[in-house]
């Protein structure tokens, strides 16, 4: 199952995903999909470096599935982080 790296951005706490260019994006669709252990290790090292550099907090690998070509976290908790509170979908900026 593909993975992505999720974190909270330090300055505002916003949920962000590690993108292909090693930047952080708020839209899950802009995050990079990770398909191999080697990429997971390499990109987590990047994310951890960004944590030390005070860009993000607590980066984590999460499992995602593709639905209509769009990534969606398999765990409810991470899906809520990605798409916002299920009771206030109007608030999500994605």
Partner 1 sequence: MYRYDEFDARFVNERVAQFRRQVKRRLAGELTEDQFRPLRLMNGLYLQLHAYMLRINVPYGTLSSKQMRKFAYLARNYDKNFGHFTTRQNLQFNWIKLEQVPDILQHLADVEVTGIQSSGNCVRNITADQYAGRAKDELEDPRVYCELLRQYSFLHPEFSYLPRKFKIAVTGSPNDRAAVAVHDIGLRMHKNEQGRVGFEVLVGGGLGRTPYIGQTIRKWLAPEHLLSYVESILRIYNMQGRRDNIHKARIKIIVNQMGIDKYRELVDEDWEFTKNGVLKVPDDEVARINTYFAPPQYESLADQTEMLAKIRSGDRAFDRWVRGNVIEHKVPGYAIVNISLKAPGKVPGDITADKMDAVADLADRHSMGEIRVTHRQNLVLVDVKQSELYELWHKLVALELATPNLGLLTDIICCPGLDFCALANARSIPIAQDISHAFTDLDELQKIGQFTINISGCMNACGHHHVGHIGILGVDKRGEEFFQLTLGGSSDQNASLGDRLGPGLPQADVPAAIRKIVDTYLVIRQPNERFLDTYRRVGIEPFKTAVYGAESQAA
In the complex with partner 1, the residue whose CB is nearer, 1 or 76, is 76
Among 1, 38, 58, 67, binds partner 1 (CB under 8 A): 58
The radius of gyration of the chain's CA atoms, rounded to the nearest angstrom, is 13
Total number of residues binding partner 1 (CB under 8 A)? 25
Smallest gap from Cβ 11 to partner 1, in A, equals 5
Under the criterion CB under 8 A, does residue 61 sit at the interface with partner 1?
no
Under the criterion CB under 8 A, does residue 15 sit at the interface with partner 1?
yes
DSSP 33: P
State how far the Cα of 76 lies from the Cα of 65, in Å rounded to an integer: 12
CB-CB contact of 56 with 28 (8 Å): no
> What are the helix (H) ranges across 8-87?
37-52, 76-83
Under the criterion CB under 8 A, does residue 34 sit at the interface with partner 1?
no
């Amino acid at each position: 199952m593909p993975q992505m790296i999720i974190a909270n951005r330090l300055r505002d706490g916003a949920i962000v995903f590690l993108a292909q260019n090693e930047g952080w994006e708020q839209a899950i669709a802009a995050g990079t999909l990770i398909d191999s252990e080697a990429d997971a290790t390499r990109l987590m090292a990047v994310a951890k470096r960004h944590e030390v550099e005070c860009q993000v907090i607590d980066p984590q690998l999460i499992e995602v599935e593709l639905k209509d070509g769009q990534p969606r976290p398999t765990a409810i908790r991470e899906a809520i982080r990605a798409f916002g509170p299920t009771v206030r979908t109007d608030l999500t900026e994605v």
